[in-house]
Every structure is written in C-alpha cells, then in structure tokens.
Amino acid sequence: MKLGQTVIMKYKHCLLTISTIFFAVASLTKCIGNNEGDKNKPYADRAFAGSATCINCHKDVYEKHIKTAHFLTSQIATAKNIMGSFEAGKNEFFFNPNSKMVMEKRGDSLMQVEYENGIEKKSRPFSIVVGSGKRGQTYLYWFKNNLGQLPISYFTQAAQWSNSPGYGTKLVFNRPVTSRCLECHSTNFKIISAPDVEPEQFSHNQIVYGVDCEKCHGLAEQHVAFQTENPTIKTAKYIIDPKTFSRKQSLDLCSLCHGGRLTKTQPSFSFKPGDTLEDYFAIDTAAKDANDIDVHGNQYGLLAASQCFKNSQLTCVTCHSPHENETGKLATFSQRCINCHNNENNEAHSKVCKLTTSIGASINNNCIDCHMPEQPSKAIAMLLQGNDVPAKALMRSHFIKIYPEESKKYLLQFAKAQNK
C-alpha cells in the first residue's frame, strides 16, 4: 500500500534547486491575498509552507536542523530510514516456536509479515517511521485512512528488532494511532474524520513530517512570500520568533510534547507557538514527587522539580539548541551548567562541584552523568527476542540533583583512567 502524494515532502539529504524555490515562492505569493480568510480556519487546516522554503534564507540553520532528533522523529518509511535489518537471519522475531514476524522486502514494498507454523497469516506495510533512532523506532501502517502501529519496533540500545512497547507476548495488529501521538511526532497530520469518530482518520497528502520549522515558528507561507518580495527588509515579518517568548510561553511550547500525559480540551494540532497550554489541555496541577515521574515524556515535570529550575529563569532552550544535534556532547552541556555554577555568579548558583578539588578542572567536562544520569524508563520497554521480561530504555533524567551512586561511578572511572 502506497502512502500517496504528500503535499510537503522532506528528504534528509536533498536540497531543492534555486529554480524550484523561486517557483514555490511565486506560487505562495499568489496565495497571499487569501491569508485573511485563511486566518479564520483552524490552525491545523491552514497551509504549511514546509521547511524546504526556508533554505534560501536560512540554509545553515536548515542543514543543521535536518540532523536533529526532532526533525527525524517521523519520516516516510524507506529502507534507508528504517534501522532494522531485512537480511535473512536478521529479519525475524519469534513470539513462540510456532509464531513469528518476518520483515520482508516485496518488490518496492517493505512489510511486516505474520507466519504461523510456516503459513503466512497477515501482512502490513511499513508506511511511516516514528522515532529518530536515538533510542529506537516504531512503525505505522495505513489501512484506508486510519493509521495503526506495527507489532515490531527497533530497539537501538540492543541493536535488534523487538516487540513494540506494551504489546506483550501476543502478535496483534490492533493498536490505532491517535492524533495526540502524532501531534508530538510531527508538525501536522490533517484529521479528516468527525470529532466523535474513532479511530481517527487522516489525510494521506496533508502531512508535515517531523518537528519542523513551523512547529516552533508558526505558519510561514506569508513570511516567505513577504521576505522574498522585500529582500532588503531584514526585520522578519509574519513569523513567530520564540526568542521573544516569556518564560511560560517558552516552557509551554516544549511542554506540549515533553510535559507528560496531557488531556486535550481542544482538537490535536490546535496549539500554536506562543499559546497558553492550559487553553488546549487540562493540566494536572497536583504536586508530584519527582521520583514518581518517568524519565520518558515528562522532562518538564522533572526539570520543574529541580532546584536549578526553581532558583533561576531556566527554560529548555537555556541548555538545548533547538536547531542542532548535540546528542552525546557532554562537555557542551556541562559548559552551560558552569555558566551559572561558578564563583562569579549570583549566590544561588555560586556552588561549584565538590569533586573539583580531587579531580580538578576536568570535572567540568562532564557534569551531566553525575547530576542528570541515564535511568531506566518505566514507559518505554521493549521485549527482546527470547526474553520474558521487557528491556527498559535508558533515558537522560531531567531531575537535576546530586546522585551519590553516580558520583562514585565517575570517581572509579577517573581513577582507572589515571592508572592506565
């Protein structure tokens, strides 16, 4: 089953030619007169320009952004985008001796195929990849205008196919994908079913994959048209600049997807950058013990429980660059800690690491493993081949504090390195 033509196609390593950009901009310019009427439409129903239109003026930012986990969090399923192997001997997952799933290439299609006692029972296509692959990937398939999750995912930590989280030991194809899931793994999926219809139905050709430019900067069609017609005007018009946000606006934008389970009170994809989250979701304001918050999905809850957050104006972008892939750059993140935690700063942040006296300045290259260690997620656990107990994904905690056991590990590693 083919996905159909998407209005906005994004390819990781492909840049549009200048002539294509000008053609697109010319088309956008013709639409500019319709923007007043367009404003009356629900946000998710309006036209998205797509990140390819940003290349002409923001090429450097674009080329960095397409390497981020945000941008890669959903893509069209191709052999290049799927991390698991389709090679014989590496493409099977046994649920029991008689039942297995095989990942197969069939002509131009990539399939998950169920076999029972060697007889094919059911097959479904890889249609959409969800997840950048940093921790893993799961896969969606189209059935008419509905989307379902395939039973087999990929677990990067173990470098192998695994059962999708929460599926247990049974081979099933019955988990529908909701718009709330897609809201955090894409910029837009056009919902075409009525509000009370379940499972929800989606358009095949009104999709913006990944967390793209317009997820944080708002709709860019009018901006692109205006700036192209007025290249000498350097002040950006008709676009949202998150740098101007209040602390709450900035945190609300990130909390849309990193704020735990939110109960929506408005349709998915209604929230716009700069909006107040409470206008779209019922927020649970009851105090929670940080130890009860899972490391997956509620980074804001963990961060908000930290003294660093309470004693400063810290936001997510204080430490994270939204435009660059900084995965694994512990020294980079540690320097951002030191920007506040130094003897030259205010009293609330003047404390420096006590290990500095025994280890020296090298401790400044890794504040993260001691104060924000990777911990097992209760929510993301994959059942690996031959195992009865799911393997928990390790994810970076955003509850910033002193973890004595992690400090001991660091000291042991340092001592071993010194003795070599």
User: What's the confidence (pLDDT) of residue 343?
Assistant: 67
User: What's the confidence (pLDDT) of residue 344?
Assistant: 65
User: What's the confidence (pLDDT) of residue 225?
Assistant: 94
Cα 210 to Cα 6, 21, 225, 280, 314: the distances in Å are: 13, 21, 23, 21, 26
- Here the tokens at position 215 are 């997820």
- Which amino acid, residue 41? K
Per DSSP bridges, beta strands 128-130 and 136-143 are antiparallel
CA dihedral 392, 393, 397, 401 (to 10 degrees): 50
> Inter-axis angle of helices 221-229 and 18-31, to 10 degrees?
110
Domain limits, the chain? 18-229, 286-419
Label residues 372-391 b or e (16+ Cβ within 10 Å = b): bbebebeebbbbbeeeeebb
Contact 400, 306 (CB under 8 A): yes
Q: Is the omega angle on the peptide bond into residue 165 within 30 degrees of 0, that is, cis?
A: no
User: What's the confidence (pLDDT) of residue 363?
Assistant: 77
Q: Which residue(s) pair with 123 in the sheet? A: 113
Among all chains, which residue has been given the structure tokens 């602390």?
247
Closest by CA position to 18, among listed 64, 66, 55: 55
Q: For residue 354, with 0-12 CB atoms within 10 Å meaning exposed, 13-18 middle and 19 or more buried, which class applies?
A: exposed
225-260 tens-digit pLDDT = 999 999 999 899 999 999 999 999 999 999 999 999
Length of the chain in terms of residues written: 420
How would you classify residue 223: left for phi > 0, otherwise alpha for psi between -120 and 50, otherwise beta? Answer: alpha
Contact 163, 154 (CB under 8 A): no
* Count of C-beta atoms within a 10 Å radius of residue 331: 12
What stretches in the chain show pLDDT beneath 70?
1-44, 168, 285-287, 343-351, 420
Phi, psi of 207 (to 5 degrees): -130, 135
Contact 148, 141 (CB under 8 A): yes
Taking the C-alpha atoms of residue 74 and residue 127, their distance in angstroms, rounded to an integer, is 11
Among all chains, which residue has been given the structure tokens 């804001």?
300
- Here the tokens at position 107 are 């002509």
